[in-house]
Structure 1
Amino acid sequence: MQINVTGHHIEITTSLRQYVEEKFSKLERHFDQINNVHVILNVQKMQQIAEAKLHLAGGDVFAMSERTDMYAAIDSLIDKLDRQVIKHKEKQLKH
């Protein structure tokens, strides 16, 4: 799985990049056919926004999360993506 991390109005530090990579590695436990992940971390005034697009075998998954803390936004993003990836996996198994 290739992870691309981009920051808008925020500097991507090594600790932030490692945190994102650690969290996204947990998604591979549920669905191992994740090809590419594009993560955008953005700051707008007091809101920290994290959004990600996953390229999966059989489709794409997109989620966005807004919080006052960037790490909380990433955690919320992972929770949303986790639910979507599980749903995508179940759809593939039914077909």
Structure 2
Amino acid sequence: MEIIIRGDKIEVTAAMKDYINEKLKRLEKYLENSDSVRANVVVKVKGHMQTVEITIPLHNFIIRSEETQDDFYASVDKAIDVIERQIRKNKTKIKAKEAKTRIDFSIVDIEEEEHEENNTIKHKKIEVKPMDEEEAILQLELLGHEFYLFKNVDTDKEAVVYKRKNGGYGIIEAE
């Protein structure tokens, strides 16, 4: 697994990188057929709180976790626990969709980026992937988001699946 670690308003030390690498290795048993898996890790600091965000895009899925604690190591532990739980919970679906690849652990350094805090709206461009409703719900759960945009393969239209307040899911489809 290629691990890309980036610090946001913090310098990620060698000890921090080693800890993240060691903890991510325990995911090997779930991704044993993975070859080109990349884990993106962002470490952020705001005040005395430290946030660790881990994103692992697989062939047809994105697994994501973000945890904030006052201790870096606790943030890493909780974020990886969440990812491990997501993988275990959806193991059959992930394995069915996962590309046949091999895991290769290495750490890649990326220079720390300067970010200014302001009140602008965050814009994101995403690739809308074709999938069925069940797969979109799985993506929604794996990412931990409230909604997920996808192209419905059954209707060939863009749609949004979202979590309803009463439990369950809803789908909004474009005309």
Q: TM-score, normalised by structure 1?
A: 0.90
Does structure 2 retain, via aligned residues, the 8 Å contact 1:9–1:43? yes
Q: Tell me, in whole angstroms, the C-alpha distance in 2 between the residues paired with 1:89 and 1:57.
A: 14
- Confirm whether residue 18 of structure 1 aligns to residue 18 of structure 2: yes
Whether the 8 Å CA contact 2:61–2:94 is kept in 1: the answer is no
Q: How many residue pairs are counted as aligned between the two chains?
A: 95
Alignment gaps of 5+ in structure 1 = none
**Does residue 86 of the first structure (1) align with residue 88 of the second (2)?**
yes
Cα distance change on mapping 1:93 and 1:36 into 2, 3 Å: closer
Q: Percent identity among equivalent residues? A: 28
- Tell me the distance in 2 between the aligned counterparts of 1:12 and 1:55: 22
User: Does the 8 A contact of 1:7 with 1:41 survive in 2?
Assistant: yes
**1:10-59 per-position Cα deviation (integer Å, ceiling 9, x unaligned):** 11111100000000011111222271100000000111100010012321
Map of 2:109 onto structure 1? none
Q: For the structure 1 residues 94 and 46, does the alpha-carbon distance in structure 2 shift closer, same or farther, using more than 3 Å as the test? A: same
> Helix, strand or coil: the match of 1:57?
coil
Match of 1:3 in 2: 3
Which of the two has higher C-alpha Rg? 2
Which contiguous aligned blocks of 4+ residues in structure 1 show a shift greater than 6 angstroms?
Answer: none
Amino acid at match of 1:30: Y
Separation in structure 2 between the aligned mates of residue 28 and residue 46 of structure 1, nearest angstrom: 32
Gaps of 5+ in 2: 98-175
Contact 1:31 1:89 (8 Å CA) reproduced: no
Larger proportion of strand: 1
Give per-residue Cα distances to partners, 1:43-91, cap 9 Å, x unaligned: 0011110001001232111110010000010000010000112223222
Return the offset for 1:93.
5.4
1 or 2, which has the higher helix percentage?
1
Counterpart amino acid of residue 12 in structure 2: I
